[in-house]
Amino acid sequence: MTLDSNWFTEICTEGGSAFSLRIRAKLHEEQTPYQRIAIYDTEKFGHLMTIDGFVMLTQRDNFIYHEMLSHPVLYSHPAPRRVLIIGGGDCGTLREVLKHPEVESVVLVEIDERVTRLSEQYFPELCEANADPRARLHFGDGIQWVKDAEPGSLDVIIVDSTDPIGPAKGLFFEPFYRDCLRALDSNGLLAQQSESPLYHTESIIRPMHDEMRQAGFLDTLTLHFPQPVYPSGWWTATLAAKDSPVTFAREEACENKPFATRYYNDAIHRACAATPEFLRQALMS
């Protein structure tokens, strides 16, 4: 919601907080069959995309989120060749995944094609790898896509979703995780954005761990990183491993990665896996 015409403000009711960006103009707004998308030009954060009044990304800081949702899970897998991205219609996660030369194929399944088309227009830098021959974009239901996937056909699944409301709600429960487990090959890994530990430990993060393990995943681990435009400024991604503990499987390869990043590196990978004491206690209870 906006408090006046010069600011976009997102109020986080459960956190008792709000975050605002000063805007120059609203560039676009439309109601799709799934959600309301708006694009703003901000003074300091470049273009801003919101969905149903919630901040999705800005040009200034999206690199942190996209790098942390992609590279830790890919360097935790011994040989990530076949990748599925559910959501991620802005294509920033797709761009990061395709930086890995060992990745042979990536399918991106986004329910709302308009997210991608607007990203191509207002965030073209995120879509620069869309024409990569290893990539395939499919506009449809990610939950159904995983349900229909061949057993053992994937090495890594990345769930780059919105909050667990509306079309994304089903992505946070055991039936979906069970289908992911079946679709993953041995050593398979799932990575999913998991909100703020400051605000959502009990409502989202701990239930995610429980649901993933109940679905049959052997190990789970939540990674931490800053995200200035999201509620509390502190965000997470949670990994789930099919049949072996989550480890930094390709640490040496990460230290010598053949591509540039702005936030992620081998030291960040090791550090982000440390669990704050309050979350450790919550996950043990």
pLDDT of 4 strictly over 80:
no
* 69 and 194 share one domain: yes
pLDDT of residue 268: 98
Average pLDDT over residues 244-268: 97
Average pLDDT over residues 224-249: 97
pLDDT of residue 104: 98
pLDDT of 2 strictly over 60:
no
Domain range holding 240?
62-284
Q: Looking at residue 46, which CATH number applies to its domain?
A: 2.30.140.10
Catalytic sites, residue numbers: 160
Residues 6+ apart with CB under 8 A from 284: none
* Number of domains composing the chain: 2
* 272 and 202 share one domain: yes
* 140 and 180 share one domain: yes
Largest CA distance in the chain: 53
Distance CA 91, CA 69 (A): 12
* 251 and 196 share one domain: yes
pLDDT of residue 172: 87
* Digit-coded pLDDT (tens) for 25-69: 999 999 999 999 999 999 999 999 999 999 999 999 999 999 999
CA atoms within 13 A on the CB side of 247: 10
Kindly report the number of other CB atoms within 10 A of residue 127's CB atom: 19
pLDDT of residue 48: 98
Residues 6+ apart with CB under 8 A from 140: 109, 111
* Digit-coded pLDDT (tens) for 111-136: 999 999 999 999 999 999 999 999 99
Distance CA 190, CA 212 (A): 10
> 8 has which bridge partners?
21
pLDDT of residue 169: 76
Distance CA 276, CA 169 (A): 26
pLDDT of residue 182: 98
* 152 and 217 share one domain: yes
pLDDT of residue 1: 46
pLDDT of residue 33: 96
Q: Looking at residue 180, which CATH number applies to its domain?
A: 3.40.50.150
Average pLDDT, the chain: 95
* 45 and 181 share one domain: no
pTM, two decimal places: 0.96
Q: How far apart are the first and last CA of the chain?
A: 37
* Digit-coded pLDDT (tens) for 62-98: 999 999 999 999 999 999 999 999 999 999 999 999 9
Q: Among residues of the chain, what percentage have pLDDT more than 70? A: 97
* 188 and 111 share one domain: yes
* 107 and 224 share one domain: yes
* 278 and 234 share one domain: yes
Q: Tell me if 248 is assigned to some domain.
A: yes
Q: Tell me if 1 is assigned to some domain.
A: no
* Digit-coded pLDDT (tens) for 157-193: 999 987 766 666 788 899 999 999 999 999 999 999 9
φ and ψ at residue 189, rounded to 5 degrees: -130, 140
Q: Among residues of the chain, what percentage have pLDDT more than 90? A: 93
* 26 and 81 share one domain: no
CA atoms within 13 A on the CB side of 63: 12
* Tokens standing for residue 41: 């030009």
Residues 6+ apart with CB under 8 A from 145: 84, 86, 107, 109, 138
